[in-house]
Structure formats: structure tokens, C-alpha cells
Structure 1
Amino acid sequence: MDNFWLKQAFDRLGEPQGRSLSTHVTADVTVVGGGYLGLWTAIRVKERSPSLKVVVVERDLCGSGASSRNGGFVTSYWAKYLSLHKLCGTDEATRIAKSSAEAVLEISAFCRENAIDAEFRADGWLWTATSAAQIGCWNILINELAKHNVRPFEILDNEEVARLGGTDRNLAGVFEPDAATVQPAMLALGLRTHAQKLGVVIYEHSPMIGLERTRTPKVITRKGSVSSKKVVLAMNAWGAQFPFLRRKVAIVSSDMIATTARPDKLNEIGFVKGVAICDSRMFLNYYRNTPDGRVIFGKSLGHFAFAGQVADHYEGPSPRAGEVEESFLKLYPMLDGMDIESSWTGPIDRSVDGLPFFGRLDNHPDVFYGIGFSGQGVGPTVLGGKILASLALDEVNEWSECGLIRDDVDKFPIEPFRYVGSIVVREALRRKEWLEDHARRPDYFTLAIANLAPVGYVPSRRN
């Protein structure tokens, strides 16, 4: 198995024994997708209405998609407050951001109460600059938050930034204490187990091959089908197969490596706390250590899927592992002796504004979706589960009327212009960041093209 986190989880827990869908069944709510979003949704529905029959249909094993291929960062939406504010105003933006910070605590409580050893470490998030051009890029955000008397970030001096990250290659940074890291596959399998304890019926190795959007929607798999009153599509990047969603997300790769366990090496440089770290690039470097002394290092490299076709382009070892390792060694040259044990890749469903969006598929009253988490889903899927459960249960509350439920989502260009344009923008970004790394000012043309990129972590005046 190429999935590092999932293999590690199976070594500890044993591979879960599931069943596939081989006949026609009925349900009250069918959830398509057994990752974080789908499982949180199923759990919330079952908690609120225990008598309902809830079915989860998963193409592989629960958690085998993006939910077990990420870096395990559990962060809030305070870093995306400017995008939230533009979308839904001060009050709703603040409520969503506060709720996303509370979701970090919810995951901690969930793991503790259900004896799930997901290696939850509440050691915060360090947001850094690795070039002079990146220093202070967070000031626009921090100043706006201060206007509303909200101060989730601490500005650190350079010495503290170097100490927390174990390297002086981080030139500056701010710190969000209310963030954490987890072993993502252990969390996903814990959600799976808890959902089953609540009575959720899970069918794995049962990819959806069709969706009949009739009065009673019907999910069709290779060997069976489910008819239900409500259908929730929680498919991450795989949701781009629907024309209704295809132009609203761009599917792009994120690639990761894991070193061998060398706690002695990490102790030498003081990189021992479970802090989540990322820099301020569009081609983001994000990394953390693990309790057994590994470094998990990821990079967004921009391998795009034409027309949202995920297929098998994001399976197996990363074909870009060498480039990820090169970035790792630039930040940690003193760890050159740590071998790379594993690499992997996965798809990210990136929206134009970097925020997820929810709604009804093709305006069908009983088919709902959530998509566009843009590489930040571990914590926010807790909110997503509340939103989708409220919609599926026809509830009227703060989540069924959440500002992330929207029809007017910005779209990417049609193909082949999106694919070609993505490559042009990617190369402009590469050139811009290379020039900035070498203390050179990017030319106007490079900047103009690079500024066409969708919103990332780094705030901009476009927000």
C-alpha cells in the first residue's frame, strides 16, 4: 500500500473488514463518500435522528481518499477571514471563523470520548515567511481582525520562529495557538467506527456509477443501488464529475514525503513539538513532525486534472517526490541524513476563493453537496457535516442558513482554456517565487499573470 498514513493505521489496528453493496436497498439518507465530510455528516444525522436509516457508500475504504493523504493539520478559518468577510459580511464571517476554531476542540473531545488514538497534539500553527517578499504578508489580515477586536495570531520574534520550527530558514512568522495536528487516517477510521456504533450502514468498495435525480433519488453502484429520501454528495475532488460542479473547482495535486523515524535528529535541532507549519507561497510548503520522530513534508505543486477528471492521476507514490525532498532539504539542510521512507500524492478540490461551498445539486430539492475545501479540510469538515446534516434533515438553523451555502460561486474558465491557463499561471508563480527566493523583484508581466491564481493562504487586496 502506498498510503503512508493508512498503512500505519492498519499496522496498529488491522485492516477494517467492510462489505460492498451487492443488492438494492432503501434508506432515509444516503451519503456518497466515506471521508471526513461524509462521516461527520452521517454521524450528525444519526445523532439528531437516531431512528433514520443512514447509508454511506464509499468507492474504496472509508478514509482512503484525501482524508488519509493530508498533512494532518487541524486549523481554523481565521487565516481566511478576509475571504469570508467578502463573502458574507462581518457577523457571519466571524461566526464561521470562531466555529472553525471550536471545531479543533470538538475533534479533541471526539477522540478523547471515543478512545481514538489519533495522535492529537494541540501545539498550534506556525505561519512563516521563507523569503523577504513574504515577510509581513499577514499584516493585512491581522489589522482587519484587530478592527473587530479579534486577535487569534501572535506575532513572534525571529528567534522564537526558528526555535518552534527547528530551522533558521524561516525568516519571520505568526503563531495561532488554537490549532493542532493528528494522524489523519487514525481519525478517519475512528469516525468510521463511531458511525457504525451509531447504526450507520457503510458499504465500501462500491463506487457510485450513476445518480438518478428522480423524485426519490437513487445512487447506483456497480452491483447494487440505494434509493433514499435524501442524498448527500461528500466526494471531495471526485465530485467534479458532475457538470454542475466541474467549473467551480480546479483539481490540483498535493505531494508529500515521510522520512524515516529519527527522533535523535529532531531532538538535536529542537524540532520536537507537534506544531503545524507552512510558509507563505502559493506553492505551499507545509510540514510537521510525528510523535515517533519523522518529518512529514508536503508541497502544492500544481499538477492539474483536465476537465476535473481525477481518474488514477493521484494514486500511488508521488512522481514529484524529488522536488518535494529538495524543498525539505532547503529548509532543513541539517537533516540531510534522514532517508525518505514514503511518498504519496492526492487531489485537492480548489475553489476560486479558497472556501468550500454547499448547496443543492442542479437545484434538486433532495440532493445536497459540499465541495471546495481547497486543501484545508480536517477541521472545517466538522462544520461541513453540520451544514449538510441540517440540509438533509430540513432543519432551519444557523447551519442550514450558513454563509457557505451559496449558488453564486465563481467559476474557472471552460476547457481547454482552464487547463492551459492553469499551466501558464503555474509557471508564472514558479518564476515569481524563484525570483523572490533570490532576492530579485519579479517583472510586471510575471506578477500580472501570477495574480490570476485563485486565493491561497496568503491574504491579498483582492479579498
Structure 2
Amino acid sequence: MCSVTTGIPLTEDFANGGVSFWYRQIGLPARRPPLPGPRDYDVAIVGGGYTGLWTAYYLKQADPGLRIAILEKEFAGFGASGRNGGWLSAEFAGSRKRHARTRGRQAMIDLQHAMFRSVDEVIAVARDEGIHADIHKGGLLHVATNPAQRRRLRAELAELRGWGYGAADMRLLGRDEQSERVQAAGTLEAAYSPHCARIQPAKLAVGLAAVVARLGVDVYENTTVTELRPRSGAAKATAVTTRGAVTADYVIRATEGFTAGLAGQRRQWLPMNSSMIVTEPLPAEVWKHLGWAGNELVGDQAHAYIYAQRTADDRIAIGGRGVPYRFGSRTDIRGATQPQTVALLWRMLIKLFPAAADARVQHAWCGVLGVPRDWCSTVHLDHASGLGWAGGYVGSGVTTTNLAGRTLRDLVLRRDTELTRLPWVGRQVRQWEPEPLRWAGVQLIYALFRAADRHENERGTTTSVYARLANLISGR
């Protein structure tokens, strides 16, 4: 079977959207009951993704007596937590120099080292709590497929040396070692970092939700929060829902790409769409050509970059940006991917892995992530208002959410720790521009990135001026 619009090979049971392949693989979880009416808690967490789940987990571990509720519009793990590329990576979103301006260079180095440790923290919790999420720590391989990408890869590696990356944290590979790891066509150079693991993201989300519920956290699903209100006089902070108000000493916003749906938050974080496809299981003969025995995560150095994994059942899952943004910060909860995006991802797949050219695509989907105006993640708690938040992960949230959850724990419990002194804590970011400037700006940025990739693939030996202009406009 082939798509009549794109000509790419599809399986007979090909699906586009609805849910991610990760949920198709394990089945959707049974829905928990909604909020039964007005309630009062010590901590109310808005959003049942990784950020909310990790925050509840660590708070309950630290103080089992805390009364904690999670308020989720759909089901726990519905959003990016159950739709992402499965990279449990130590990469951190945003400019290191920008973070360093807050508390100094060493603080940013400390943040990077905290990310290294967070990869192992997630693995350890999953092991200890019996969460089976197909985790394999095979590391991360960045490949450069044209001279401009190679120059950029070397420059980025040199810069990382000044931000806490030692030789063991990331290194260039010789041609023989690169070929032994993964046969990615056209690779001119590759860098490897051990600080990354493959996961099945929905299994992690479902498993973590079950753990926090077992610890005594009230997880309310099918519960839409419409507004967050700060503490006022004797009145506690409040999460206003369609099923009643939830008051708490602290209300934590953990809504990431869906933040724009809250009253007064439309310009806070830009909801950016990212899309994925997954093949049918590939036969052993194909894997003989591809290698990939170490289950490394694979990404390229393009501006409209891709991210890929070899799944536990021997498929290739690959993702990248499709239609990046919809007017008015709208989000598409159906999760369908445009046919042209499916075709683009397919072309990227067979370009990098031509041995898989005969494989058929079984599922396509998309998810939404949150982008702050300066592209830097933040975590914050205001004790005066009782409101806090974490997010703006720009697609690097699988590991960062864990660090955010532990940091919010310390902030709620008023602990002065190494985590609360990290430079992403308490950062204030200006809002995005109003429409139609927001929509026009994002369309221009990604048009420039696509033009930059075309230019570099055809004849560029240095980073394209189009990409430099896009970075300038975006504020990255």
C-alpha cells in the first residue's frame, strides 16, 4: 500500500494521529475519575505529563503526608510525554551564555552536570519502581552529512569543552568506530556522547502515573483547568477548573505546550509542533547493513534537524519539525501529521538509512512542545503568590522534567540546595509578540532554516547566512 498523495510505502494498518505509536503499542490507559468538585490541597499540579508526575513523585517521597493533586485535561501522559522521540538525553535547551549571565559560568556548568546525573536518575527510578520502559543507555550519536554541518559539529564540540563537557562526555569518532556503531549514509563526521538512553515514552509516563497514584497522589483526569489565581489575603492560590475550584498552598503549572490554553497565558510559551513516523519492524538482513547494535540515539546537524531511535522491537522511529506553529497558539490535540510532513520524514529516513528503503511506515503522529521567547527552560516558585511553574523545554524535556521535578520539590519545601541555586531557577522571560507578528515570525524563521539546509546540502561549506538570520530573528 502506498499513500496516493506522497507515494511512500505504508502498511495496511497505517494510522495517522489519534494517539502516538507508543500508545498504539501498549494500549491507552484506563481513564481515572475527574475532579468530583471543589477541593483543598497542600500542592495542586496542573498537567499530568512528566513535569507534573516527577514533581508529585519527589514531593511524596520527601513528605508522605503532603496532600497533592494532579489536574489533567485528558489523561496522564497524553501530551508530549507520550508522543516524544524517546531521547533520555543530557542535552539542555537554550543558550548557555544566557543562563550563565544569571549566576555565572560555573553555575551553568553545574546545571550541565546535573543533567548528566538526571539521565541516570530516571533510569534508577524506573528500575526501583518496576517501570519497564524499554530503557537502554546506548548514548547519542550526532552525524554531520555536509561540510557546513561538519564545521558546525566541530565548533559546537569545542564550545562544549568550556561548559562542563570533558573528553568522556562527548568526543569525535574515527571513521571506523562511527561505521561500526551506525551505518548512516553520507556521514562525514560524527560525535558521540554516553549521556543518553532510549526509552519508550508512553511506558514511562503510564508507569510513573501508576507509581504516584500508588503513593497517594490524587490524579484527576478529564479535568480542564481554565485559570490560575495567585494567593490573595486569606485566600489560597487557586486552580479554576470546569468541575470546581482547587485551592492549595502552592499551585504548580506544568502544562508545557498547552500553556496557551490558560487564561492570560496565550503569549507565555509558543506551542511548537513536532512530528514523527515509525516503520514496521525491520528484518535481520536490514540490521546487518545498518548496524545500530548499541541502540544509540541518532540526530543530525541540520537546522531543521531530525531525531531517531531503534526501537526495542526493531523499528526505526524518526521525527522532526512539520508545520511548526498554528495561528493564535492553537494546538491540534488529534495529533495528525500532514501528508507532506510524513513524506519529508520518509525522505530523511531513507537518505540516512537507505538499507531501510523497502520498509513501510506504520504510524505517523505529532505532539506539541513549549518554547519560551528566549528558548531557555525555566523553573520557578513564588512563595508570595503560591504559583510556580516549570517548562519551556523546546523538545529536550524527557530528562529536564526530572530535574525540574526535584527542583520544584526543594522550592516547595523551602530547601536551599544545589538544585535551587542552578541558573534556570527563577528566570523571567518576556512574552511572545502578539498575532499576527507571532505567526509571521515563526513561519519566516522556519522558511529560513529550510533554505539554509538546502543551501548547505547543495554547496555550503559554512553555516548559511539564512540560518544566521533565522537565529537572530528567533532570539535563540
TM-score norm. by structure 2 comes to: 0.88
Find the residue that maps to 1:102 and give its secondary structure.
helix
Q: More displaced, 122-131 or 73-82?
A: 73-82
- The yes-or-no answer on 1:130 pairing with 2:145 is yes
Shift of the 60–155 alpha-carbon distance from structure 1 to 2, 3 Å rule, reads same
In structure 1, the partner of 2:369 is: 348
The within-5 A match list for 1:312-391 is: 312=332, 315-319=335-339, 320-360=341-381, 365-391=385-411
Q: Could you say if the C-alpha distance between residues 140 and 284 of structure 1 is closer, same or farther in structure 2, counting changes exceeding 3 Å?
A: same
State how 1:202-221 maps to structure 2 within 5 Å: 202-214=219-231, 215-221=235-241
C-alpha distance in 2, partners of 1:356/1:135? 27
1:42–1:195 CA contact under 8 A, matched in 2: yes
Who is 2:305 aligned against? 284
How far is the alpha carbon of 1:199 from its aligned partner? Answer: 0.8
Partner-residue secondary structure (3-state), 1:343? strand
Counterpart Cα distance in 2 of 1:186 and 1:228: 30
Alignment-derived partner of residue 461 in structure 1 = none
CA displacement, residues 401-460 of structure 1 (integer Å, 9 cap, x when unaligned)? 33112344254333211211221221121111101111247998735532325477xxxx
Q: Name which of structure 1's ranges 261-270 and 137-146 shifts more when overlaid on structure 2.
A: 137-146
Decide whether aligned partners of structure 1 residues 147 and 34 sit closer, same or farther in structure 2, where only a CA change above 3 A counts: closer
Match of 2:203 among 180, 186, 210: 186
Quick one: which of 297, 304, 309 aligns to 2:318?
297
Report whether the alignment pairs 1:39 with 2:53: yes
Q: Say whether the 8 Å CA contact 1:232–1:367 is kept in structure 2.
A: yes
Conservation of the 8 A alpha-carbon contact between 2:146 and 2:461: no
Q: Deviation of residue 258 (structure 1)?
A: 0.6
Post-superposition offset of 1:393: 2.5
Superposed CA deviations along residues 97-120 of structure 1, whole A, max 9, x for unmatched, are: 111111111111111111211111
Task: Indicate whether 1:60 and 2:59 are aligned.
Answer: no
With over 3 angstroms needed to count, the CA separation of the structure-2 counterparts of 1:160 and 1:88, relative to structure 1, is farther
Runs (5+) with no aligned partner, structure 2: 1-17
CA contact (8 A) 1:299 1:324 kept: yes
In structure 2, the CA distance between the partners of 1:50 and 1:282, relative to structure 1 (3 Å rule), is: same
**Residues 134 and 280, structure 1, Cα contact 8 Å, conserved in 2:** yes
CA offsets, 1:271-299, max 9 Å, x none?
33211111112211110111211000001
Question: Contact 2:318 / 2:349 at 8 angstroms: preserved in 1?
Answer: yes
Q: Quick one: structure 1 residues 416 and 107, their matched pair in 2 at CA, closer, same or farther if it must change by over 3 Å?
A: same
Contact 1:317 1:342 in 2 (8 A): no
Specify the alignment match of 1:423 in structure 2. 443
Show the counterpart of 2:8: none
Residue type at the aligned position of 2:38:
H
After superposing the two structures, state which structure 1 stretch, 408-417 or 429-438, moved more: 408-417
- SS of match in other structure, 2:104: helix
SS of 1:297's partner is strand
Tell me if the contact between 1:314 and 1:347 (Cα under 8 Å) persists in the aligned partners: no
Give the gaps of 5 or more residues in structure 1: 457-463
Give yes or no for contact 1:289–1:296 (8 Å, CA) kept in 2: yes
Per the TM alignment, residue 217 of structure 1 is displaced from its structure 2 partner at its CA by: 1.9
Tell me whether 1:2 sits opposite 2:15 in the alignment. no
1:104 and 2:119 are equivalent in the alignment: yes
Deviation at 1:87, TM superposition (A): 4.8
Cα separation, 2, equivalents of 1:24 and 1:443: 55
CA deviations over 1:206-235 (Å, ceiling 9, x no partner):
121233334312222222332211100100
What does residue 104 of structure 2 align with? 89
RMSD of aligned alpha carbons: 2.5
User: Does the alignment pair 1:69 with 2:86?
Assistant: no
1:452 is paired with a residue whose SS is helix
Aligned sequence identity (%): 25
| Larger CA deviation: 130-139 vs 89-98 | 130-139
* Cα contact 2:147–2:460 (8 A) shared by 1: no
Find 2:44's aligned residue among 30, 34, 51. Answer: 30
Match of 1:306 among 324, 327, 330: 327
Contact 2:303 2:452 in 1 (8 A): no
Query: 2 CA distance for matches of 1:380 and 1:445?
Result: 31
How far 1:19 moved relative to its partner?
1.1
Please state whether the residue corresponding to 1:255 is helix, strand or coil: strand
| Superimposed CA distance per residue, residues 125-181 of structure 1 (whole angstroms, 9 cap, x where no aligned partner) | 011212211103233443344357741102102332233222232221110012111
Q: Deviations over 1:292-315 (max 9, x none)?
A: 1100000123521333232x2662
**Residues 256 and 318 in structure 1, CA contact (< 8 A), matched pair in contact too:** no
Q: Give the whole-Å Cα distance in 1 for the aligned partners of 2:240 and 2:330.
A: 20
- Kept after mapping to 1: 8 A contact 2:377/2:394: yes
182, 186, 189: which one aligns with 1:165: 182
> Quick one: distance in 2 between partners of 1:432 and 1:417?
22
Q: Which amino acid aligns with 1:159?
A: D
Output the CA distance in 2 between the equivalents of 1:384 and 1:147. 24
* Count of matched residue pairs: 451
CA contact (8 A) 2:328 2:435 kept: yes
Distance in 2 separating the partners of 1:72 and 1:369: 23
TM-score (norm 1): 0.90
Aligned residue identity for 1:108? I
**Distance of aligned partners of 1:201 and 1:307 in 2 relative to their CA distance in 1, 3 Å threshold:** same
Whole-Å separation in 2 of the counterparts to 1:399 and 1:445? 38
2 CA distance for matches of 1:77 and 1:88?
20
1:239 matched residue in structure 2: 259
Distance (whole Å) between structure 2 residues aligned to residue 120 and residue 70 of structure 1: 14
- AA aligned to 1:40 is W
